[in-house]
Amino acid sequence: MTLNGNEPSRSRDIIVVGAGIAGLALTRQLVSRNFDVVTLERRNEIVDAGLAINLPGNAIAALNELGLQEQVAAAGTPVLKRQYRTDTDRLLFEIDEERFWGRENLPRCLRRSELATILLEGIPHDTIKRRADVASIFSGDDHVEVKTTDGELLRAKYLIGADGVFSTVREMTLSASTTSRSLLAQSSWRFIAKNPGVHCWTIWMGRQAMVLLIPVGRDDVYCWATVTDDREEPISINSLVQRTEKFPLAPRRVLEEALSDPARIHLSPIDEIDLPRWGRGRTVLIGDAAHATAPVWAQGAALALEDSLVLSDLLVKNEDGSDLAEHFTQLRRSRVRHVKEMTDRTAKVSHLPVALRNLLFPLLGPLSYKNTYGPLKRSFR
């Protein structure tokens, strides 16, 4: 049986939907292992080209396994330490990232477009079909079929949904799956601005807002900011500005610069995905499509990169495709659950009364960092 009785031009090994970080990393691995793969991307350009990405040590370890250590080291700005500060600029605690992760897996921050370009190296140009949106999916006992909105029919042994939080593949194959809002906040803003003099990963936490700045490149910073009392609807950038008007000069200067060119500001709902199983049969979800969490520990790209490596190993070994989704979920579940639990725990602490939070954070903060990232330093295979 085929969709609408049409016949695909040929049958492939794998169809990947989504050419973000997860999809590109997986496609790269599959190509290197001689799979016949096609990747569908609904957009025509590199996603989030004007934004940056924070890569903790386990993300760097995965990129090293992908053979990209030199490229990432050359493009990324080293994150040598973290500082957690109050909205009056008082230092609560500091983390030596180089000491914790080691030189080989030192965290880095780089532009998303640069990471995408690095991942694209080694992928044949015709492997990725852009402006290709999924219209329908058919799952058979021994194959899957995808029909695009322009009428093209594709057939393969497996379908991988790497299409993010609002995954079309997830919606079409697991109709019961839904998104939920994070315990941390409803929305966040991201953008790149001129560096106001910040030398390391630095977050300022107030009663109603948080602002994180990370140096990226020679002269810029990547900013992530959120309002933590955002029960109002709709939320706006003015809400953030009002709640940070007493913050130190550095974060305020960055926000003022961004407001001068609002088109640069990217508003992102903080949605989470929690599924009992990441796919069904020959269809598998990876990255945010399977297990999105709030970016408290910067694990979105990290877990997606790990997913791509684990799944590619599984596809090489897999003989009975009917249980691929179940097997993949079993391999990755405990690691993802750990990140989810630590994310929720930190989000709850962030909502404590400010005086109590600032009292506890010098003790709880370093412990939370160690308890979160300690298990993630261990191999994900």
Q: Are 296 and 347 in contact (CB under 8 A)?
A: yes
d(CA 256, CA 193): 10
> What 3-state class would DSSP assign to 108?
strand
- In this model, does residue 146 exceed pLDDT 60? yes
Task: Quick: pLDDT tens for 5-41.
Answer: 567 668 999 999 999 999 999 999 999 999 999 999 9
Query: What tokens were used for 350?
Result: 């962030």
Over 70: is that where the pLDDT of 82 sits? yes
What pLDDT band is residue 270 in, cutting at 50, 70 and 90?
confident
Question: In this structure, what token pair is assigned to residue 133?
Answer: 């949106």
Instruction: Please give the pLDDT value at position 236.
Output: 80
- Going along the chain from its start, the domains and CATH numbers come out as 3-79+108-181+272-351 (3.50.50.60), 187-269 (3.30.9.30)
Q: Helix, strand or coil for residue 230?
A: coil
Mean pLDDT of 84-98: 98
pLDDT digits over 125-141, tens only?
999 999 999 999 999 88
In 10 A of CB 298, how many CB atoms? 20
CA distance 97 to 90: 20
Structure tokens, 151 = 């009428």
Tell me: pLDDT of 375 over 70: yes
Kindly report, residue by residue over 211-231, the tens digit of the pLDDT.
999 999 999 999 999 998 765
What is the reported pTM? 0.94
Distance CA 178, CA 159 (A): 20
Residue 45 has pLDDT above 90, yes or no: no
E-strand stretches of 32-152: 37-41, 52-55, 77-78, 81-86, 91-96, 108-111, 128-130, 134-139, 144-148
Percent of the chain whose predicted confidence (pLDDT) is above 70: 93
> Amino acid letter at 324?
L
Could you give phi then psi for residue 184, rounded to 5 degrees? Answer: -70, -55
Query: Quick count: other Cβ atoms within 10 Å of Cβ 313?
Result: 14
